């Protein structure tokens, strides 16, 4: 049997696809199971043992549609379900199994506050449902992130029992708890517990995180701009990760690192909240929430109450409970 999984982006979505990949492999141990993603996210699955071939998409739809057709897959699990994945599979000749993204329900909830979700189903379980007809079921083992052997020896100088991670960034501004609050909280943790603070972020976040580091002081280290594999190694040194709603949050959960996650403008119904028993979620409910499905550049109400309403003292209480 030949199976292809399509999830082109982004970090969190691909990590959330790992239970599907693992459970599919357990059901069909001798099958060819390929996975196609954008090249820049290859590190997420580069060491995953359940993949036969990792296909790196470069944006050329025609070239990759032809490649997929020539492979003659029996089944394609399209868990991206957008126009690009549709075009990639259009003439594949395979049986297409699609992920239900409930776009209309999302639209009604964000635009009119009408909630037609009957239950809160995590995204990774929705991905798994695409393979139900293949007899695939969830094994209750959570998410996966496999660290490559070449990255394992990074940061040997960092002692795990002395570090806490923070991820003060996010692609969308409405997903960011205020910088000043991260700084105040980090100082409070250092003063009370004398832990070192590891600051995580992407390549474009270096200056933002460097400013935070400077204000926290010499017991902090700016690790933004690391590769995803290197970030995963550093995360394993942390007792827990305090984070906004980011892809790194899902990587931490896959590594079984406790997370304290601050959620602003989105809703639990969308399925991206951490599911681990070790995870803590901090979120405030207001009449204007959710205002978007993935976050936005500015608060539509103007006061950003879903984040300003979360105090340093409240988050510190959660942090203290994890120590």
Give the lowest-confidence range in 32-41, 48-57, 113-122, 147-156: 147-156
Together in a domain, 173 and 58: no
Total domains in the fold of the chain: 2
CATH number at residue 22: 3.40.50.2000
Together in a domain, 174 and 310: yes
Residues spanned by the domain of 61: 2-134
Reported as a single tens digit per residue, the pLDDT across 250-260 is 999 999 999 99
Together in a domain, 115 and 204: no
**Residue 159 confidence (pLDDT) above 90:** no
Together in a domain, 206 and 247: yes
Together in a domain, 188 and 117: no
The reply to whether 208 falls in a domain is yes
Q: Residue 256, Cβ neighbours under 10 Å: how many?
A: 12
Together in a domain, 103 and 172: no
Three-class SS of the chain: CEEEEECCCCHHHHHHCHHHHHHHHHHCCCCEEEEEEEHHHHHHCCCCCCCCEEEEECCCHHHHHHHHHHHCCCEEEECCCCHHHHHHHCCCCCEEEECCCCHHHHHHHHHHCCCCCCCCCCHHHHHHHCCHHHCCCCCCCCCCCCCCCCCCCCCCCCCHHHEEEEECCCCCHHHCCCHHHHHHHHHHHHHHHCCEEEECCCHHHHHHHHHHHHHHCCCEEECCCCCHHHHHHHHCCEEEEEEECCHHHHHHHHCCCCEEEEECCCCHHHCCCCCCCCCEEEECCCCCCCCCCCCCCCCCCCCCHHHHCCCHHHHHHHHHHCC
Together in a domain, 7 and 102: yes
Averaged pLDDT of the chain: 92
pTM of the predicted model as reported, rounded to 2 decimal places:
0.94
Together in a domain, 182 and 310: yes
- What is d(CA 321, CA 323) in angstroms, rounded to the nearest whole number? 6
pLDDT of residue 108: 83
Single out the residue in 85, 117, 134 at which a domain terminates: 134
Confidence of residue 271 (pLDDT cuts 50, 70, 90): confident
The reply to whether 72 falls in a domain is yes
Reported as a single tens digit per residue, the pLDDT across 99-113 is 988 888 888 888 878
Phi, psi of 142 (to 5 degrees): 75, -160
Phi, psi of 106 (to 5 degrees): -60, -45
Q: From residue 282, give the alpha-carbon distance in Å to each of 16, 125, 177, 308.
A: 21, 22, 11, 12
The reply to whether 152 falls in a domain is no
The reply to whether 141 falls in a domain is no
Confidence of residue 158 (pLDDT cuts 50, 70, 90): low
């Amino acid at each position: 049997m030949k199976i292809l999984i399509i999830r082109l982006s982004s970090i969190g979505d691909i990590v959330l696809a790992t239970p599907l990949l693992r459970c599919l492999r357990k059901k069909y141990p001798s099958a060819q199971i390929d996975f196609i993603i954008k090249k820049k996210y290859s590190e997420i699955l580069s060491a995953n043992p359940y993949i036969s071939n990792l296909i790196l998409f470069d944006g050329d739809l025609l070239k990759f549609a032809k490649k997929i057709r020539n492979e003659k897959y029996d089944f394609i699990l399209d868990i991206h379900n957008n126009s690009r994945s549709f075009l990639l599979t259009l003439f594949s000749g395979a049986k297409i199994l699609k992920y239900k993204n409930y776009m209309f329900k999302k639209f009604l909830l964000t635009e009119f506050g009408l909630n037609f979700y009957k239950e809160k189903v995590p995204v990774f379980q929705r991905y798994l449902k695409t393979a139900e007809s293949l007899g695939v079921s969830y094994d209750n083992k959570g998410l996966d992130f496999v660290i490559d052997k070449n990255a394992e020896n990074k940061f040997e100088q960092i002692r795990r029992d002395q570090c806490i991670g923070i991820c003060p960034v996010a692609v969308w501004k409405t997903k960011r708890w205020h910088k000043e609050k991260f700084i105040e909280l980090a100082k409070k943790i250092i003063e009370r517990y004398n832990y070192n603070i590891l600051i995580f972020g992407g390549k474009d976040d270096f200056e933002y995180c460097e400013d935070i580091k400077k204000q926290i002081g010499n017991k902090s280290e700016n690790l933004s701009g690391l590769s995803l594999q290197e970030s995963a190694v550093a995360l394993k040194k942390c007792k827990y990760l305090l984070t906004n709603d980011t892809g790194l949050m899902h990587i931490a959960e896959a590594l079984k690192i406790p997370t304290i996650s601050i959620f602003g403008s989105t809703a639990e119904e969308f399925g991206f909240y951490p599911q681990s028993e070790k995870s803590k979620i901090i979120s405030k409910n207001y009449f204007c929430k959710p205002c978007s499905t993935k976050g936005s550049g500015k608060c539509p109400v103007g006061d950003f109450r879903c984040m300003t309403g979360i105090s340093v003292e409240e988050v510190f209480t959660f942090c203290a409970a994890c120590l």
